[in-house]
Structure 1
Amino acid sequence: MLYVNPHAARAPYPGELQDIMSIARAQESRAWLAHWDGLTPGSTPLRALPDLAASLGVRSVLVKDEALRSTLGSFKALGAPIALVRLLLREHAALGLTAQSLLRGEHRDALVGVTVISATDGNHGRALAAAAQSIGCRCVIVLHAQVSEEREQAIAAYGAEIVRVEGNYDASVAAAASLATRHGWSVVSDTSYEGYEIIPRDVMQGYGTLAAEVDEALSMADAGSDDACPLTHVFLQGGVGGLAAGIVSYLWERWGVWRPTFVVVEPVQADCLYQSAIAGKVASASGSVDSVMAGLACGEASPLAWRFLQPSVDAFMTVTDAEAVEAMRRLARGSDNDVPFVAGESGVAGLAGLMQAGAAPSLAAAIGLSANARVLLINTEGATAPQGYAALVGEPAASVMQRQQAWLAR
């Protein structure tokens, strides 16, 4: 399903939003992250898939591959460390901390009494646990009933203490907030709620690193000019809206009225942003929330993220779990001209939306998806649950990676 957002505007990036998130802060986050050994040095690849583009009837499809960002296997490795660093810089300024010294673990002794906590569907908690381990903080992660044992073990491997609760993601968010209040811990969450916006802002600002790298790659390729955006469409994963807000804010500030068309894609049963667009305000999902796209299985939109998405996202889409699995398999297969990708369930939501729109002329027309379209997708995760990935795709991630390496070596 697709809903065209009547509130989306073609206007310069508003000053009140720039005060919250900006290109300058995204670039600062990017510079800080260069000092963390939890990330692979340099930018992640931005790859063209010409055969996929031809099959969808568009001019080009570019995919930013966050599966290669780090051993964490997802874009979440950009947000949690930045939020944790900014939190410690604010609350422990007397210690003479810097972002670089924190990420190098130089203040372990001074921070031994600090505990951070967060709810997660998997990737954010794993990234926070890894960052806390590097910096020297204690980390507690709250998991809801639908988070797999495989994802729990991946988080615990970074030294986090695990707390299990009944219910869905929203129940785990409430539980994390309650535990933090009771014990005097700091919540480092990627979703906002009433009275809690500073840390989610910092998480989203870390995600701006992605957009900065895309902008840099396109500029180096001389793909556009100062007043002509080299992209016509960007399809982004939904969830609570943090990733989308981080990317949209950067590209909107960068290109202003010439910004690309933004399309946000969610699971049909976890459609909180889609429902928010219809209601014209933050709303809850209409379905069960449980989805194979675990990282997007969120029932409540982030109010802070929605402040950026409502005036900028041109359309909201929902896709089925089956469509997501087919997108995973399409990227894994590759082709003569398309490099194979390891893309997890949530990582392919944007492609699933693009494939749905490409197969339906009415949907394509509604968002201006034509033969001249130049589309950006972000593969937000690799096989963060390897057993689940192999079951859905029909082969292990290691096999796909071997074919990727062979394709790149041709």
Structure 2
Amino acid sequence: MFILNTNADYRRPLEPADAAILGLDAAAGVERHLSFRDQHAETPLVSLPALAAETGVAAIHLKDEGQRLGLGSFKALGGAYAVIRLVLEEAEARLGRPVDMPELYSPDIRKIAGTMTFACATDGNHGRSVAQGAELVGARAAIFVHAGVSDERVAAIARFGAAMIRVAGSYDDSVKEAARVADERNWTIVSDTSWPGYERIPGLVMQGYTALVREALRQMPAPPTHVFIQSGVGGIAAAVAGHLAIMLGERRPVFAVVDPARAACLFETARAGRPVTVPHGEPTVMAMLECYEPSLVAWRILSRVADAFMTVGEEDAVAVMRRLANPLGTDPAVVAGESGGVGLAGFLKAVADPEVKAALSIGAESRILLVNTEGATDPGKYQEIVGLSPCEVVR
């Protein structure tokens, strides 16, 4: 399914609070924050010239977040960043003086962090980031996971010392339970989705994602003309689209949001012109995108700066994992998890449909930017789908 953005807010300026969260000064602050983080390095921008030639465009670049901060997904930029920011803010309030990143591991800051507990719900990757951030500063983490989260993903979060809490039902059920328990126990909820009255912390999570946009623009020979980004609740899509709109203004690229057909909350929200909760159905293989209710902040941004919304099916996600593992010509192999290559799946569907291709003005001069949002965060599942282990693909 495919629709253009026809909402009343389309192409209106971002609200001042959203523009501040995703603006140039905030993004520069994120990069400064990252300079103090162990394991920080810019992730690679992979060029796929053979695929570009096959699809009739000038260039395809894939920002590969499968190596980000040792966690294997772009989420490493969000949850941990928000946790660290919140600890520094709490330290400033208690100590009565400015506190910055160089003091993060000092005894005074760690003592304060040790009194704090951070909670979130997760499909896997966001919870891993929150747990890593809490461990870095000496805080506690409580991570809520729904029934569909694999034991392998749970173990990957637990290794950071987080308390793991299983919740019956879906991701959205785990979000509600995490918020309820956190309120009861005076924990700080660090969610990557927002709801009425809860926007600032999800905004900080999204702010962390701006780092990958700045890196990609530095790495590309020329700015993209088109961007296809997969979306769950909308955080990554809104962060990328919003920051690009601020940075590039009228030169910003055409931006398409890609949903799983089985969890198309943003697509249906765009079609209705208001936030929509879609009914739960059969689970999607795109586990990190299996969300049925959009983030209010993300929708507010995307309603203004996204140009189109589309869905892809189960077979599309699987096919693109295999395509990236077994690339055309001399294109490099890329390890993309079940949700990692969904933006590419959306692009491939778009160029295969003459009407969609024309609606998005894709042509021989188009430069496509995509994000591999996760590597093989569940290696067993990856090998089952692709037929090769992540190590075999890299070799």
Q: Which category of TM-score, normalised to the shorter sequence, fits these structures? A: over 0.9
Give the % identical residues: 44
CA contact (8 A) 1:350 1:377 kept: yes
Is 1:53 the counterpart of 2:39 in the alignment?
Answer: no
CA distance in 2, matches of 1:68, 1:31: 19
1:51-94 CA-to-partner distances (Å, cap 9, x unmatched) read 11112121110000100213210000100122112212333313
* Corresponding residue for residue 73 of structure 1: 72
* Corresponding residue for residue 227 of structure 1: none
Is 1:390 the counterpart of 2:383 in the alignment?
Answer: yes
Alignment of 1:9-408 (within 5 A): 9-10=10-11, 15=16, 17-37=18-38, 40-93=39-92, 94-95=94-95, 97-102=99-104, 107-218=109-220, 221=221, 223=222, 230-288=223-281, 290-402=283-395
1:370-399 CA-to-partner distances (Å, cap 9, x unmatched) read 222110000010000000000011100010
Q: TM-score, normalised by structure 2?
A: 0.95
Most deviating of 329-338 and 290-299: 329-338
Most deviating of 142-151 and 331-340: 331-340
Could you tell me how far 1:9 is from its partner in structure 2? 4.3
Specify the code of the residue in structure 1 equivalent to 2:174. S
Specify the code of the residue in structure 1 equivalent to 2:205. V
Most deviating of 19-28 and 382-391: 19-28
Ranges in structure 2 where 5+ consecutive residues have no aligned partner: none
Q: Secondary structure at the match of 2:113?
A: coil
Specify the code of the residue in structure 2 equivalent to 1:197. E
CA contact (8 A) 1:12 1:253 kept: no
CA distance in 2, matches of 1:42, 1:334: 25
CA contact (8 A) 1:103 1:135 kept: yes
Aligned CA distance change for structure 1 residues 393 and 340 (closer, same or farther; 3 Å):
same
Could you tell me how far 1:103 is from its partner in structure 2? 6.2
CA contact (8 A) 1:121 1:294 kept: yes
1:298-337 CA-to-partner distances (Å, cap 9, x unmatched) read 0110001111100111111111111001000111112332
Could you tell me how far 1:100 is from its partner in structure 2? 3.5
Specify the code of the residue in structure 2 equivalent to 1:153. A
Specify the code of the residue in structure 2 equivalent to 1:336. G
Specify the code of the residue in structure 1 equivalent to 2:178. A
Aligned CA distance change for structure 1 residues 198 and 17 (closer, same or farther; 3 Å):
closer
Most deviating of 105-114 and 362-371: 105-114
Aligned CA distance change for structure 1 residues 258 and 309 (closer, same or farther; 3 Å):
same
Specify the code of the residue in structure 2 equivalent to 1:150. E
